[in-house]
Amino acid sequence: MTISRKTIEYTKVPEPTTPAANEPIDLNDETLDQHKQKILTRMQEKQLDVIVVYADREHGVNFGYLTGFEPRFEEAALVLHKDGKAYMMLGNESLRMQQYSRIKVEAVHTPYFSLPNQPMENSKTLAGLMEDAGIKQGMKVGIAGWKLFTSALEDNEQIYDVPYFIVTAVKEAVGEQGLLLNATSIFIHPGDGARVIMNANEIAHYEFGASLASDRMLRLLNKLQTGMTEMELAGELAAWGQQTNVQTIVATGDRFTNAVVAPRAKKVSIGDKFSATLGFRGGLSSRSGYAVTSQEDLPEEVRDYLEAVAKPYYAASVAWYENIAIGLRGNEMYELIEEVIPKAEYGWKLNPGHLTAGEEWMSSPIYSGSEIPVESGMLFQMDIIPSIPGYGGASAEDGVAIADEKLRDELAALYPDVWERIQARRDYMINTLGINLKPEVLPLSTINGYMRPYLLNKQYAFKVKS
């Protein structure tokens, strides 16, 4: 089923009222044990003796998948052996975190991972410390960074996205008889990566961040008015000190002038293009449109914005929400979006939707030619970005979980508050916005499907005509 843009109307729509989660849900011991077993199973399939999992401040989710925490300001590496024994290589300021690891680990003090000009009080090379972590001559070792290199031009198992000094140290430790390969796919391959399929505990854990980001985004939208600065509006996005997983954006008028991406003291003016983005672990919400109350407030050259950009975009997002389903192949979704808003006309470049978790974009099964099916336990972000010269953008990005009946029953039984919020969001999308969701589609955001293209008109939004 596809949606014609003629079925989309701009009309009075009550805003969603489902509250956000008010406290996080931790990953439990059973979940962490499952994580380790899933990685060990995939190591066995690839016949790896060891996997070295790299982490830094920005790229720590694979590391945290096993340990429960991510580095705050240093680099780190988890060395996991096929028998389950684990070593944690930590710099000076992270060394004490070994005691908090969710799996049993032996610490290897690695000053090379410390910040510049901190004490380097060690008598071993990095290769020697790798040996202390059990990496020996002749071993087959996988290195997990955070990227999949899928170009057919090169062997993607021989490209590494971790620092050179680490790769060379591992190579020295295994020697000429050893073998080194990129094993990031063990974690994030969109078809069979360990992290792609989540249980009820993980969905409840990530619903906190997704609902919180969207709740704060709605606060910003409701606060938005001319004369306010980007920084004032960004203050509406701050939430309990939670860690963001993308740069927070509040931008009015032309974006990123002087290469500045953070919110500034720039004031909102009538007719401005406007965009805002906030992402926490588990979900991102993004909205863009124009700071106007009606078509008459738009600059003359873009007064057809509603028909030229916003309605087609919303039609595509409705098609995405209504068609995402267990068993749908990635290419089928790709072709659906191409049918509703052709890439050549609407200028979108990224895959229309992707997997999410602790990071905003983990990987994506939605790409041209993809035979990877949507499965129960996946978390998706609806992410379509039109780019039409001369016009401001249109976006209403949010996330959903996909859950079969068994997983839905577990979620409802174990986390009734989470389940109640999800059901309220489904009801809003179906009965207020007219977006017909499959039973397995569980909205994690408080504002899934809610889009105000004219951002100063807070009574009107898009919906599907009855």
pLDDT, tens digit, 9 for 90 and up, residues 346-405: 999 999 999 999 999 999 999 999 999 999 999 999 999 999 999 999 999 999 999 999
- Beta-bridge partners for 88: 78, 107
Is 284 within 8 Å of 356 (Cβ atoms)? Answer: yes
Which CATH number characterizes residue 300's domain?
Answer: 3.90.230.10
- Kindly state whether residues 177 and 281 are assigned to the same domain: no
CA distance 358 to 245: 8
- Kindly state whether residues 123 and 267 are assigned to the same domain: no
Q: Pick from 182, 214, 244: which residue ends a domain?
A: 182
Task: Look up the domain containing 136 and give its range.
Answer: 47-182
Residues 6+ apart with CB under 8 A from 464: 3, 7, 8, 9, 318, 433, 434, 435
Write down the pLDDT at residue 72.
86
Q: What is the mean pLDDT of residues 270-298?
A: 98
pLDDT for 3 beyond 80? no
Nearest to 342 by CA among 388, 286, 288: 388
Which CATH number characterizes residue 69's domain?
Answer: 3.40.350.10
Q: Flag whether 380 is in a domain.
A: yes
Q: Flag whether 442 is in a domain.
A: yes
- Kindly state whether residues 113 and 224 are assigned to the same domain: no
Is 225 within 8 Å of 268 (Cβ atoms)? Answer: yes
- Kindly state whether residues 416 and 289 are assigned to the same domain: yes
- Kindly state whether residues 293 and 317 are assigned to the same domain: yes
Nearest to 357 by CA among 209, 160, 145: 209
Write down the pLDDT at residue 6.
65
Q: Pick from 161, 182, 203: which residue ends a domain?
A: 182
pLDDT interval class at 150 (50, 70, 90): confident
CA distance 144 to 137: 20
Nearest to 187 by CA among 207, 161, 152: 161
pLDDT interval class at 4 (50, 70, 90): low
Residues 6+ apart with CB under 8 A from 200: 407, 410, 411, 414, 415
Q: Pick from 182, 208, 230: which residue ends a domain?
A: 182
Number of structural domains found in the chain: 2
- Kindly state whether residues 109 and 229 are assigned to the same domain: no
- Kindly state whether residues 348 and 399 are assigned to the same domain: yes
Task: Calculate the alpha carbon distances from 268 to 13, 17, 99, 251, 287 in Å.
Answer: 24, 26, 49, 9, 15
Place of tokens 């040996």: 131
| pLDDT tens column, 78-125 | 999 999 999 999 999 999 999 999 999 999 999 999 999 999 887 899
Task: Give the mean pLDDT of the chain.
Answer: 95
CA distance 425 to 183: 38
pLDDT for 274 beyond 80? yes
CA distance 98 to 90: 8
Q: Flag whether 52 is in a domain.
A: yes
CA distance 106 to 251: 46
Instruction: Please state the pTM of the whole predicted model.
Output: 0.96
DSSP 199-261: -HHHHHHHHHHHHHHHHHHHHHHHH--TT-BHHHHHGGG--TTPPBSS--EEEESSTTGGG--
- Token output for 148: 């999949």
pLDDT for 64 beyond 60? yes
CA distance 276 to 250: 4
- Kindly state whether residues 163 and 71 are assigned to the same domain: yes
Q: What is the mean pLDDT of residues 417-439?
A: 98
